[in-house]
Amino acid sequence: MNKVSRPEDKNSGSREDVPAIQRLKADAAEARMRRKEFYASLFPANELALTGLFLSVAFLFQKSLPAKSVMLAFFIGASWFAGRKFSLLATLIVAGTIIAANLLVPFGKVLYQTGPFIVTEGALLDGVDKAVTFEGLMYLSKSSILPSLKIPGAFGAVVARSFLYYDRIVENRVKIRPATLLADADALMLDIWDSVTVQTSQEITKTGSFPEVHGMRLTDSRLDESNTEKVYRLSPQGRLLGLGIPALGAFLLLFFLR
Point out which residues bind another protein (CB under 8 A). 49, 52-53, 56, 84, 90, 93-94, 97-98, 101-102, 104-105, 126, 130, 133-134, 137-138, 140-145, 147, 149, 151, 154-155, 157-159, 161-166, 168-170, 181-183, 185-186, 189-190, 192-193, 196-198, 200-203, 213-214, 223
- Residue number, 93 or 243, with CB nearest to another protein: 93
Question: Which residue number, 41 or 161, has a Cβ lying nearer to another protein?
Answer: 161
Please give the torsion angle defined by the CA atoms of residues 220, 226, 231 and 235, in that order, rounded to the nearest 10 degrees: 150
Cβ-based nearer residue to another protein, 105 or 236: 105
CA angle 71, 76, 78 (to 5 degrees): 90
Question: What's the distance, Cα to Cα, between the start and end of the chain in Å?
Answer: 84
Q: How far is the CB of 85 from another protein (least distance, A)?
A: 10
Q: Which is nearer to another protein, 166 or 238 (CB)?
A: 166
Q: What span, in angstroms and rounded, lies between the C-alpha atoms of 243 and 105?
A: 46
CB of 15 to another protein, least distance (A): 29
Minimum CB–partner distance for residue 61 and another protein (Å): 14
Q: What is the rounded CA–CA span in Å between residue 201 and residue 206?
A: 9
Question: Contact at 8 Å (CB) between 47 and 243?
Answer: yes
Q: Pick from 141, 124, 137, 150: which is nearest to 45 by CA?
A: 150
